[in-house]
């Protein structure tokens, strides 16, 4: 009878070492043959693997295969790779209320962890009607941190606050000396 071939076209044959051992080969070839039995290539032909029986492991494998995006409701926005510059910009966005206390910002955005994972950075193109309100090319910087450092309003506010903190934390002897002088002048 003729040998029947599998219908799908896949077949599994274990890769076994040759059973004919010559006396000249020695024990090194036997060890090599035994180690070839346990290599990852010898599991199944064509790179197929058997899925695990544990449902937790199956779910974990499925989650790894799904693309890391926000979903179709948010136009499948991908999660960007975090670089030190992006991390610094996100921290500055969280601390923007400290940088400019006169301006009010929403707090809900800084609390959510989803906003930290999925975001995009772009350039705002102003219309012609905002000609006098926009930054000039000379004043524009590459990152948000550079722009805040070069902003004169922010630097004045920062210097004023640093002076206030330094005056508050001066040595105690200077405060006593100042208090003593003020009492003497009043009398």
- Distance between CA atoms of 89 and 145, rounded to whole angstroms? 6
pLDDT in tens, 54-106: 888 888 877 777 777 887 888 888 888 889 998 898 888 888 888 877 888 77
Q: Nearest-CA neighbor of 46 among 8, 12, 15?
A: 12
Q: How far is CA 117 from CA 60, 71, 80, 102, in A?
A: 20, 13, 8, 28
Q: How confident is the model at residue 163 (pLDDT cuts 50, 70, 90)?
A: very high
DSSP one-letter code for 170: S
Tell me, what's the pLDDT at 162?
93
What average pLDDT does the segment 161-176 reach?
A: 79
Higher pLDDT, 19 or 115: 115
Q: Nearest-CA neighbor of 165 among 102, 98, 88, 103?
A: 98
* Percentage of the residues of the chain whose pLDDT score is greater than 90: 7
Residue 121 contacts by C-beta under 8 Å, 6 or more apart in sequence? 80, 86, 89
- Distance between CA atoms of 119 and 110, rounded to whole angstroms? 12
pLDDT in tens, 23-65: 555 555 555 544 444 445 444 555 566 667 788 888 887 777 7
- Greatest Cα pair distance in the chain: 127
What average pLDDT does the segment 146-159 reach?
A: 89
Tell me, what's the pLDDT at 36?
47
Which residues share a beta bridge with 69?
Answer: 78
The reply to whether the predicted model has a pTM over 0.85 is no
């Amino acid at each position: 009878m003729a040998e029947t071939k599998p219908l799908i076209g896949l077949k599994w044959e274990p890769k076994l070492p040759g059973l004919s051992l010559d006396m000249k080969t020695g024990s090194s070839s036997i060890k090599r043959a035994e180690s070839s039995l346990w290599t990852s290539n010898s599991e199944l032909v064509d790179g197929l693997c058997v899925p695990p029986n544990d449902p937790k492991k199956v779910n974990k494998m499925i989650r790894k295969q799904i693309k890391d995006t926000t979903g179709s409701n948010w136009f499948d926005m991908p999660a960007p790779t975090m670089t030190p510059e992006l991390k610094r910009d996100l921290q500055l966005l969280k601390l923007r209320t400290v940088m400019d206390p006169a301006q009010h910002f929403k707090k809900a955005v800084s609390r959510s962890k989803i906003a930290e994972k999925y975001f995009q950075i772009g350039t705002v193109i102003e219309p012609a009607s905002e000609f006098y309100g926009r930054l000039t090319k000379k004043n524009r910087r590459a990152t948000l941190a550079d722009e805040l450092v070069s902003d004169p309003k922010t630097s004045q506010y920062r210097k004023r606050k640093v002076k206030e903190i330094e005056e508050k934390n001066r040595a105690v002897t200077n405060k006593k000396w100042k208090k003593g002088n003020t009492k003497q002048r009043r009398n």
